[in-house]
């Protein structure tokens, strides 16, 4: 029979904006609306998991063990060789991981520096409802602190072919120069910096063995959840403005203007929120013939000594007033608008 390909991915893989949305959801997963914290211990734990899972190899049916050591523990380990049998012979193969304690300034932000001042920045806006009002809560986080963690991965074996197996796995894993680990939902790249050989060391019995040394750098960042902030924004509410209708904010304005041929022009101006009614005493005996330049007024009523003589906007039939007659002008308009019109008449035609 021919060979069949296994583990075929039949689902469409997200790329671009869809992939960014997936990453955003992973960061918030199981932690409400805020991202999870990231510490050095979290990055160490995920790197160890990466070596155990992604760089794992099986020799003679057994998975090669991985041990994480500090610099001090590495010194003790090289003297005691914990992986030994009952005859004190070194049991191989095995993998060791050492993280250098000198954490460097990070390159996760492509060499850019954080904005000074330890400010927090809006991360997400979450709608709220207290049963009466709707609003928003603004979630803020500080800028992460970029750090570079350098790991030394060593593979100990006494067989060249076993060394070739791990080397092939490492080269394939980093064929795109970097690969990613997920630290509390935060994707972080690991870069393979160098591959070295330390096979010139001997054990206590002068027995030669191979040591392949891989230097890997994690471009990570630190994020402290204790510095996260949740700030309620201004809630939406209905705002009502009540006007005191008994108080007139201004008075209407009337001006007279002598015109040619014994004509007189009256200009009436009704300012915003003033009374729609204006009363004055005529100084002249006038026969009014026209109304024009009506602005922002929907209707005009004119009374002479409380007798209605005009109702509308177009003066069709002239009307007369005598000197000292009481004239009442009533208009209809919107309260916030400025209304005006002109009334023209002739003094000599009575």
- Whole-angstrom Cα distance, residue 43 to residue 24? 19
135 plus 215 within the same structural domain: yes
Tell me: pLDDT of 16 over 70: no
Tell me: pLDDT of 135 over 90: no
Tell me: pLDDT of 96 over 80: yes
Q: Which of 8-22, 91-105, 126-140, 197-211 has the highest mean pLDDT?
A: 91-105
201 plus 337 within the same structural domain: no
Predicted pLDDT of residue 21: 64
pLDDT digits (tens, 9 = 90+) for 251-264: 455 656 555 556 77
Q: How far is CA 308 from CA 294, 298, 301, in A?
A: 20, 17, 7
329 in a structural domain? yes
187 neighbors 180 (Cβ within 8 angstroms) = yes
- Whole-angstrom Cα distance, residue 73 to residue 78? 9
29 plus 98 within the same structural domain: yes
- Whole-angstrom Cα distance, residue 212 to residue 153? 8
For the chain, counts of helices (H) and of strands (E): 4, 21
89 in a structural domain? yes
What is the number of domains present in the chain?
2
Residue 29: band (very low, low, confident or very high) from pLDDT cuts 50, 70, 90 = low
CATH code assigned at 73? 3.30.2000
Residue 245: band (very low, low, confident or very high) from pLDDT cuts 50, 70, 90 = very low
336 neighbors 296 (Cβ within 8 angstroms) = no
pLDDT digits (tens, 9 = 90+) for 147-162: 999 999 999 888 888 8
160 plus 73 within the same structural domain: yes
Task: Choose among 283, 254, 278: nearest CA to 328.
Answer: 278
User: For 298, what's the count of Cα atoms within 13 Å in the CB-facing half-sphere?
Assistant: 5
176 plus 307 within the same structural domain: no
131 in a structural domain? yes
239 in a structural domain? no
Q: Domain ends where: 164, 198, 232?
A: 232
For the ranges 58-72, 97-111, 192-206, 325-339, the lowest mean pLDDT is seen at: 192-206
Residue 204: band (very low, low, confident or very high) from pLDDT cuts 50, 70, 90 = very low
| % of the chain at pLDDT higher than 90 | 16
Mean pLDDT, the chain, integer:
78
Q: Domain ends where: 232, 267, 300?
A: 232
282 plus 198 within the same structural domain: no
Task: Compute the average pLDDT of residues 305-317.
Answer: 89
Residue 28: band (very low, low, confident or very high) from pLDDT cuts 50, 70, 90 = low
6 in a structural domain? no
313 neighbors 297 (Cβ within 8 angstroms) = yes
Q: Is 75 helix (H, G, I), strand (E, B) or coil?
A: helix
196 plus 289 within the same structural domain: no
Q: Is 273 helix (H, G, I), strand (E, B) or coil?
A: coil
104 plus 213 within the same structural domain: yes
Predicted pLDDT of residue 240: 46
222 plus 269 within the same structural domain: no
190 plus 71 within the same structural domain: yes
pTM for this entry = 0.55
3 in a structural domain? no
Bridge partners of 179, per DSSP, are 190
- Whole-angstrom Cα distance, residue 291 to residue 297? 12
Tell me: pLDDT of 293 over 90: no
Residue 237: band (very low, low, confident or very high) from pLDDT cuts 50, 70, 90 = very low
Residue linked to tokens 């700030």: 231
Task: Compute the average pLDDT of residues 230-243.
Answer: 56
CATH code assigned at 312? 2.60.120.10
Phi and psi torsions of 129, nearest 5°: -150, 120
142 plus 288 within the same structural domain: no
Residue 305: band (very low, low, confident or very high) from pLDDT cuts 50, 70, 90 = very high
4 in a structural domain? no
Tell me: pLDDT of 48 over 60: yes
10 in a structural domain? no
> 214-232: string of b/e by CB count within 10 Å (b at 16+)?
bebbbbbbbbeeeebeeee
For the ranges 34-38, 57-61, 241-245, the lowest mean pLDDT is seen at: 241-245
270 plus 121 within the same structural domain: no
Query: 338 lies in which domain range?
Result: 253-346
User: What tokens does 70 get?
Assistant: 């500090």
Task: Choose among 130, 333, 322, 324: nearest CA to 232.
Answer: 130
Predicted pLDDT of residue 350: 42
């Amino acid at each position: 029979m021919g060979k069949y390909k296994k583990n075929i991915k039949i689902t469409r893989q997200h790329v671009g904006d869809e992939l960014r949305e997936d990453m955003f959801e992973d960061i918030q997963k199981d932690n409400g609306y805020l991202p999870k914290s990231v510490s050095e211990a979290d990055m160490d734990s995920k790197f160890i998991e990466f070596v155990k899972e992604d760089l794992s190899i099986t020799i003679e049916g057994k998975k090669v063990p991985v041990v994480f050591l500090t610099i001090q523990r590495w010194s003790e380990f090289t003297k005691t060789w914990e992986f030994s049998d009952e005859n004190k012979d070194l049991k191989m193969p095995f993998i060791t991981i050492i993280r250098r304690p000198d954490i460097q300034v990070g390159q996760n932000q492509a060499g850019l520096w954080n904005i000074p001042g330890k400010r927090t920045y809006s991360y997400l806006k979450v709608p709220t409802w207290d049963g009466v009002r709707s609003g928003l809560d603004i979630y803020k986080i500080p800028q992460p602190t970029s750090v570079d963690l350098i790991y030394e991965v060593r593979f100990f074996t006494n067989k060249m072919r076993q060394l070739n197996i791990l080397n092939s796995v490492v080269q394939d894993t980093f064929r795109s120069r970097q690969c990613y680990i997920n630290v509390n939902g935060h994707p972080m790249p690991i870069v393979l910096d160098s591959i070295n050989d330390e096979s010139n060391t001997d054990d206590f019995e002068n027995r030669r063995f191979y040591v392949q040394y891989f230097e890997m750098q994690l471009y990570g960042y630190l994020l402290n959840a204790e510095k996260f902030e949740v700030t309620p924004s201004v809630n939406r509410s209905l705002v009502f403005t009540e006007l005191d209708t008994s108080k007139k904010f201004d008075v209407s304005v009337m001006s007279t203007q002598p015109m040619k041929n014994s004509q007189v022009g009256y200009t009436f101006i009704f300012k915003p929120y003033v009374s729609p009614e204006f009363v004055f005493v005529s100084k002249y005996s006038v026969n009014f013939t026209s109304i024009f330049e009506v602005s922002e007024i929907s209707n005009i009523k004119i009374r002479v000594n409380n007798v209605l003589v005009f109702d509308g906007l177009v003066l069709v039939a002239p009307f007369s007033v005598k000197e000292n007659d009481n004239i009442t002008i009533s208009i209809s308009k919107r309260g916030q608008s400025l209304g005006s019109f002109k009334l023209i008449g002739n003094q000599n035609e009575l």
